[in-house]
Amino acid sequence: MKIRIYIYSFIIALLTSCGSMGPKSIRAGRMEYNLALGQSDSEQLLLNIVKMRFLDRAVFLNVTSMTSNLSFQSEISTTTTGIFDSVAFPTSANPSFTWKDNPTITYEELTGVEYVTQMLSPIPVDTIVLLLQSWPASMVLPLALNEINDVNNDWNPINPTISSTASVQHKKFNEITEAIQFLDAQRTLEWSVIRTDAENTHAIETAILLNNHPGDKTEETIALLLSSLGLAKSKEGNTKFSIEYGLEAKDDSTLVLGTRSMQDILTYASLDIDIPSELADQALINTHPKDAEVEDKLLHIRTSLYRPRNASVAVEYHGAWFYVQADDLQSKATFLLIQMLMGMQSGASSSGAPVLTIPISS
């Protein structure tokens, strides 16, 4: 009789514990999926940047859905021996537990209209302005712009002969970027995006030069910025400049930004990859003249013949490892900014492209 009581008590306790597995699985599974998805997104982006350097086709597989099917099964059996041999016969309980996690993951390749929109279309001006509200101009502008008010940033290191004009323009662009960065830090230059309709499809972007200039350096920086961009300051109060997309300067009250596409950004990022000598004949050669002035790299992708230990993200391609070093904070920040731009450029995914659904059995 006591054996039955013990067995029933154990079964009740087991069933009670099963009822709490759902919340526990959320705490465990959600974090694991979060880490796995984030890491695979980073590895895919790095892989595609590397592919571009080797003139190979970049493929973007987006995870459109993840469904995790959890099941928990418990069984208990008893074994009794010597039931006919004695009054006190031994009885043993044999519990068994089965836990299964069968996720179903759906992938969709970025193709067609979505590819044109996300990868080949210029980044909208309001995206740049929104980023400038929280990211340093010294990162956003060199990465995302080809030009600003006819000052060119399109300095192509693949060209074996960099003209003196391109070099001068590039240096001037850097001076403008540093001036904007300084005025941002002084809270003298503010950026604004105002939505003009309920659907948020139209916006007015402005740069506001506040009428508070603490110090001679701020005054000198403002003068440098205005003269370099061909802008004019209001005689009284704050000065507002409208911001537009375009390829040439407009007037003294408008900032015209020539933005890059994501394809442009990833192509430029691929030029700052260290290529091992064993693969030099398979990759696009970076022909920086040795005597040319080369600015510090925003994104430095290193290479190794062995899997790197100190890497925040690493991929293997053509028998070599390419990675962003974990303690290279500048490169990590730039890589994160590229990921944010990719996300901001992505639109609603349509059902027209082929969808690959993979059920994974444990």
Q: Give, in order, the Cα–Cα distances in Å from 272 to each of 80, 171, 290.
A: 72, 19, 15
Provide the β-strand partners of residue 76.
95
Determine the pLDDT at residue 348: 41
- What's the confidence (pLDDT) of residue 289? 44
| pLDDT of the residue at 67 | 79
Q: What SS3 class is residue 64?
A: strand
Give the list of residues 6+ apart from residue 12 with CB closer than 8 angstroms, or none.
none
100 alpha-carbon distance from chain centroid: 32
pLDDT digit string (tens) for the chain, length 362 residues: 555 555 555 555 555 555 555 666 666 677 888 888 899 999 999 999 999 999 999 999 888 887 777 666 666 666 666 555 555 556 666 676 666 777 788 888 888 888 888 899 999 999 999 999 999 999 999 999 999 998 988 655 555 445 667 778 888 999 999 999 999 988 888 998 887 665 656 667 788 887 776 778 888 999 999 999 999 988 888 889 999 999 888 889 999 999 999 999 999 899 889 999 888 888 887 655 443 444 567 899 999 999 999 999 999 999 999 999 999 999 999 999 999 999 988 854 444 445 554 455 54
Contact 104, 360 (CB under 8 A): yes
- Taking residue 261's Cβ as centre, other Cβ atoms within 10 Å add up to 19
pLDDT of amino acid 237: 83
> In the prediction, which pLDDT does 352 show?
45
Please state, in angstroms and rounded to a whole number, the distance separating the CA atoms of residues 332 and 336: 6
Q: What is the pLDDT of residue 22?
A: 60
Question: Which structure tokens are listed for 75?
Answer: 């069984």
- What pLDDT was estimated at residue 36? 87
> Which parts of the chain fold into alpha helices (H)?
2-18, 21-53, 112-115, 125-132, 137-144, 164-185, 216-229, 262-270, 329-345
Closest CA to 299 of 260, 258, 339, 261: 339
The structure tokens listed for 311 are 């890497």
- Classified as helix, coil or strand, 293 is coil
Q: pTM of the full predicted structure?
A: 0.79
Residues whose CB is less than 8 angstroms from the CB of residue 11 and which lie 6 or more positions away in sequence, other chains included = 76
Task: Enter the DSSP assignment of 273.
Answer: B
